[in-house]
Amino acid sequence: MREVVRTDNAPAAVGPYSQAIKVSGGSLVFCSGQIALDPSAGELVGETAAEQCRRVMENLKAVLKAAGADLSAVVKTTIFLVDLSDFVAVNEVYGSYFENNPPARATAESAHLPKGALVEIDAVAVLGS
């Protein structure tokens, strides 16, 4: 079973992908990577990776809400940074969204991200948890 998740409260996909996909009868949701695009303007917001991370997390929250979940349901994330020297600043913002029982996570440096973004985060969540 596969269901496309879409919301106007997060940026529209900038390529041939969905904001998220619900699978296994709706028990899992796979959120595509989010960058710091303002959902209404479609423009990149934030000068620093930390500022962009805040917008990224808000975009993930909106996609998860459209799928019937929230950040407490997230079991795995991947953070992509253009510069790993931003790790501490991004980690501080990211951690403020997962204060208790944070999900498993990987962080990697990426030479380039879409639209010149400094940070991108994807997520996997369990529905009904």
Q: Is the pTM of this model over 0.85?
A: yes
- pLDDT for the residue numbered 129: 59
Beta bridge partners of 82: none
The conformation of residue 26, written as its DSSP 8-state character, comes to: G
Q: What is the mean pLDDT of residues 95-109?
A: 96
Q: What is the mean pLDDT of residues 27-35?
A: 96
Could you report how far apart the first and last alpha carbons of the chain are, in Å?
19
Does pLDDT of 24 surpass 80? no
- pLDDT for the residue numbered 125: 97
Please count the CA atoms within 13 angstroms of the CA of 127 that sit on its side-chain side: 19
Q: Which residue has the tokens 């990211």?
A: 94
The answer to whether 82 and 111 are in contact (CB under 8 A) is yes
Q: Where are the domains of the chain?
A: 2-126
Task: Compute the CA torsion angle 95, 44, 19, 92 (nearest 10 deg).
Answer: 0
Alpha helices per DSSP H over the chain: 49-67, 87-97
Residue 10: CB atoms within 10 Å: 25
The answer to whether 39 and 128 are in contact (CB under 8 A) is no
The fold adopted by the segment(s) 2-126 is 60s Ribosomal Protein L30; Chain: A; (3.30.1330)
pLDDT band at 25 (very low <50, low <70, confident <90, very high): confident
What one-letter code names the amino acid at 57? M
Does pLDDT of 86 surpass 80? yes
Interatomic CA distance for residues 44 and 85, integer angstroms: 21
